[in-house]
Amino acid sequence: MFFYLSWLSFLRHTYLFRMFKGFLIWIFDLYKLGVQSHDEEISRRISFSNVVFISLPVVYFSFMLIDYKSFLDLFSKPRFDQAIVPVVILICFFCLWLNHRGFSLLSRILFLTLWPFLLHIIPIALLKTPLDYYIAFPLGVIFHSLLIQLMLSHRKEAGWYWLFLGLNFLTMLIEADVLAYFVEQGVTPNEIIFDKYFLFDNILYWLLFNLVMFYVLLIIELYIKRINRAKRLIENQKEELDAINENLEKLVEERTHNLEEKNIRLRDYAFYHAHLLRAPYCRVLGLLQLMSMTSSEEEKRTDIMPKLVESLDELDMVIKKINHIVDVEV
């Protein structure tokens, strides 16, 4: 176990691993191509189409690797049903490029139009209804209907949506006629395609898969809308909180400035109280005490009273300055 973990830790730091990780991140980021300039619902459809354009080449390339001998024989014995596989891969890459260039509706319509013809209708016509297409054709029609729901919005692109889905359903209704029409001359078509339950089963599974896909997409869209609403609400609340914080900062700054001014006034008040107010007050007390100790009225009137009035005037002036400092009107 320790050896395995050590080896895994070593691989995580190798250049090849980092390249592979970067490649996977690049692949996963491809689904974002072409979604920037559209509303949310169309953007989701473009993202879904990007996923299809990425996934199908991976599946078809894997199929080519599994059946590589048959694909190598294409150089000597060309077969349309196999030669078309790399063509479909190139079409997927081309449609992905169209999404990247902003032609998303064109890319989706092009793919939904070409895919059933290249992989089903044309092979059936050229190969005279091979046996495997008795199963592949109905499954392909159902899968094509699911692709229509993934790629086209029934709200924003209702015309294209119902046109393609209606043509798809019509194709399913005439599956037996298509398969029988292209059967090689002299060969009797498989009787199962004329059985009414063959058609009923096709309709049943078509409705089943399409209804499930429709409601799954609807739930996803509603869920994403709720998430987006919650996200917008959080962003609005964040903006409100930022505004409140900004106002609080201004309020704190103003109050701090006011407190600093008050502190300055209190220091000035303390200075006046401790020094300037104390001096005339003490002189007044001294003169009053001197008056109580002096018996001569002449001395009180000529010497002490002028000095007492002078000290009281000085005391009054200091008190007015103190009142001005502390903003108190007397």
pLDDT tens-digit readout, 198-242:
889 899 999 999 999 999 988 888 888 888 888 888 888 888 888
Mean pLDDT of 184-206: 83
Scanning the structure block, which residue is given the tokens 């059933």? Answer: 116
Task: Residue count of the chain, please give it.
Answer: 330
Q: Which among 23-37, 253-267, 294-308 has the top mean pLDDT?
A: 253-267
Sequence letter at residue 325:
I
Q: Which among 71-75, 92-96, 162-166, 179-183 has the top mean pLDDT?
A: 162-166
Sequence letter at residue 155:
R
What percent of the chain has pLDDT above 90? 18
The predicted structure's pLDDT at residue 163? 95
Looking at per-residue pLDDT, the higher value among 36 and 171 belongs to 171
Looking at per-residue pLDDT, the higher value among 206 and 37 belongs to 206
Q: What is the CA radius of gyration of the chain?
A: 46
Q: Mean pLDDT of all residues in the chain? A: 79
Please determine, for residue 195, whether its predicted confidence score (pLDDT) is greater than 80. yes
Which residues are CB-contacts of 308 (< 8 A; sequence separation ≥ 6)?
284, 287, 288, 291
Could you give the CA distance from residue 58 to residue 55 in angstroms, rounded to a whole number? 5
Q: What's this model's pTM, rounded to 2 decimal places?
A: 0.65
Please determine, for residue 299, whether its predicted confidence score (pLDDT) is greater than 70. no
User: Residue 189 burial (CB < 10 Å; 0-12/13-18/19+)?
Assistant: middle
Scanning the structure block, which residue is given the tokens 């949506």? Answer: 161
Is 167 within 8 Å of 123 (Cβ atoms)? no
Please determine, for residue 330, whether its predicted confidence score (pLDDT) is greater than 50. no
The predicted structure's pLDDT at residue 328? 46
pLDDT-based confidence at residue 46 (cuts at 50, 70, 90) = confident
Tokens of 260: 């600093």
pLDDT-based confidence at residue 329 (cuts at 50, 70, 90) = very low
- Which helix (H) or strand (E) segment holds residue 280: the answer is helix 278-293
Q: Which among 39-48, 132-141, 259-268 has the top mean pLDDT?
A: 132-141
Scanning the structure block, which residue is given the tokens 């009180």? Answer: 300
Please determine, for residue 12, whether its predicted confidence score (pLDDT) is greater than 60. no
Lowest model confidence (mean pLDDT) among 21-35, 58-72, 136-150:
21-35
